[in-house]
Amino acid sequence: MLYYGCDIPEDLYYHQEYDSWVRFEADGTATLGMTDVAQTMSGKLLHIQFKSPGKTVKAGRVAATIESGKWVGPFVMPFDAELLAINDKAFADDILIANRDPYGAGWLVKVRPLQPENARDGLLTGQEAMTHIQKKVDANGIRCYRCVE
């Protein structure tokens, strides 16, 4: 679904405070990234510092630090997980990949939830997620766009 240019895929899970999305994979892993709203609010990305694969990242702790022209801040894990892969090669080739394709090639980390039965706790999906994101877009006057060179 598009709302004021902001893409809100209905099949993903979202963390309302961290502006992150989660795709739970069939093999028990999860892929995470920043939402279209987050990449718009951040502006053009300049640098990302990832935690190393193999590390355990607790819920509420930082899996990566993102720097843009407007902001430096954490990419926070919504649940306890083992970090399996980071998308550092894609960002080294094109630092704006999350600005261009936040739900596809611009993913940030792939993880294995340590307590998969609880990983969805606190995440929104479907209409509930869309309603929350729409309220945030309206309240902040956000109009999403994708960065281009």
Q: Is the pLDDT of residue 149 over 60?
A: no
Domain of residue 99 covers 2-140
CB-CB contact of 20 with 35 (8 Å): yes
Return the higher-pLDDT residue of 142 and 23.
23
Which pLDDT tens digit goes with each residue over 71-83? 899 999 999 999 9
Q: Is residue 132 part of a domain?
A: yes
Query: For residue 147, is it within any domain?
Result: no
145 inside domain:
no
Q: Is position 149 within any domain?
A: no
pLDDT one-digit tens code per residue, 82-131: 999 999 999 999 999 999 999 999 999 999 999 999 999 999 998 898 89
Indicate whether 121 belongs to any domain. yes
Total domains present in the chain = 1
Looking at the domain assignment, is residue 59 inside a domain?
yes
Q: Can you give the CATH number for the domain in which 60 is found? A: 2.40.50.100
